Structure 1
Amino acid sequence: MRSQQRRTPGGVCYELTRKRVKNLNLRIRADGNTAVSAPSFVPVAEIDAFVDSRAEWISRAKRKILERKAQDLVPCTVSPQEALELFEAVSREIFPLFADVLQNQPPLLKVRDMKSRWGVCCPAKRRITLALRLAEKPRRAVEYVVLHEYAHFLQLNHSPAFWAVVERFMPDYRERRALLKS
């Protein structure tokens, strides 16, 4: 059983889908529209109140989506080649910290135009891929991302042990990570 309707309680416009779910689920789609899925037994007034109670969060989430879309329209000021040169220079500085683990073989660095990540490490292929737009960030932020990806050669996940590795080599990583948001 699945039914859909558009609702606008308290000024928040959303698409309500009734389906076989246990809870109310609220999400902001990539196009900026708000969607709620709800079980058939939940009264519409309760769903409207739920959405209304999350109005501030919805507004912030939509603003972030619009900012991200606007940012994607602005061309990158750095070429892939310039970005790779920067990333290789930073990697040469960080590699000695991990040389033993990597048997003195630096990983392959790649540059991609990624939308949702600053970097990706693939230990099995000994490869680190970094976002092109990372090259537009301050060098201290670039150093943090490169070290973060190197740390994945020691810890594959983001467990407390992973963050301990990052902090051991870069005690100010939190401040550097904050630079990525500016």
Structure 2
Amino acid sequence: MTAQKPGTQRTVGSITYELTRKRVKNLNLRVGEGGAVRVSAPARTPLREIDRFVASHEAWIEQAQERVRIREEAAGQVQDSYTDEECQRVFGEVSDRIYPLFAAYLPAQPALRVRWMKSRWGVCHVAKNYITLNKQLMGKPRAALEYVVLHEYVHFLHPNHQAGFHAEMARLMPDYLARRALLK
């Protein structure tokens, strides 16, 4: 068996994938940005076994690639559809309604920033008293936006996601779990 270089491109059937040999116990299959298929495999796994594994997951790979395509297409539309000013206005309205719940604990209403983020809906900057919200929230239901804004405000009281954080979320927004599900 010849040593496989990291990142080797292989094709099985209609699927092209990138194979990386790693110190892992099992074959791992991922579909990433742009629908790219990546497989990590233990160093001694024969290529025919890896190819067989990929071929046996062909239907799943195609479904995952379609989900990625739809998500990326929708994200691109939202990014191009709304200006920062529009996002600031909508997000500011929600923040203005939530801030009074925290006024006793905060020196001033946190400033809002808007930007495009790949993996987060919002970020709370406690020390600098501002919240950054993802522009993609404009494409989500209002209930989901309200959840994210409240979530970031609660971080001013509870910096982590431990029991106190969830208790405060449940107290202020009893349906917060259902609203969080709207983001998926």
The alignment's TM-score, normalised by the length of structure 2, stands at: 0.80
Alpha-carbon distance in 2 for matches of 1:72, 1:92: 26
Alpha-carbon distance in 2 for matches of 1:47, 1:159: 40
Deviations 1:115-142 (A, max 9, x none): 3322111212211011223234332222
Question: Counterpart in 1 of 2:34?
Answer: 31
Q: CA deviation at 1:52?
A: 4.2
Q: 1:168 to 1:51 in 2, by over 3 A?
A: farther
Q: CA deviation at 1:71?
A: 1.8
Question: Counterpart in 1 of 2:125?
Answer: 122
Asked if the contact 1:25–1:38 (Cα under 8 Å) also holds between the matched residues in 2, the reply is yes
Q: CA deviation at 1:173?
A: 1.3
Q: State the AA in 2 paired with 1:80.
A: D
Alpha-carbon distance in 1 for matches of 2:123, 2:137: 12
Asked if the contact 1:7–1:16 (Cα under 8 Å) also holds between the matched residues in 2, the reply is no
Alpha-carbon distance in 2 for matches of 1:5, 1:115: 26
Q: 1:140 to 1:26 in 2, by over 3 A?
A: same
Q: State the AA in 2 paired with 1:81.
A: E
Alpha-carbon distance in 2 for matches of 1:107, 1:121: 9
Q: CA deviation at 1:53?
A: 4.9
Asked if the contact 1:78–1:136 (Cα under 8 Å) also holds between the matched residues in 2, the reply is no
Secondary structure (helix, strand or coil) at the match of 1:35 reads strand
1:52-91 residue pairs with structure 2 within 5 A? Answer: 52-74=55-77, 76-91=80-95
Structure 1 unaligned residues grouped into runs of 5+: none
The alignment's TM-score, normalised by the length of structure 1, stands at: 0.81
Alpha-carbon distance in 2 for matches of 1:178, 1:79: 26
2:123 equivalent to 1:92: no
Of 154, 157, 160 in structure 2, the residue corresponding to residue 154 of structure 1 is 157
Asked if the contact 1:138–1:179 (Cα under 8 Å) also holds between the matched residues in 2, the reply is yes
Secondary structure (helix, strand or coil) at the match of 2:156 reads coil
Identity value in percent: 47
Q: How large is the RMSD of aligned CA atoms in angstroms?
A: 2.5
Secondary structure (helix, strand or coil) at the match of 2:81 reads coil
Question: Counterpart in 2 of 1:169?
Answer: 172
Question: Counterpart in 1 of 2:146?
Answer: 143
Structure 2 unaligned residues grouped into runs of 5+: none
Q: 1:151 to 1:47 in 2, by over 3 A?
A: same
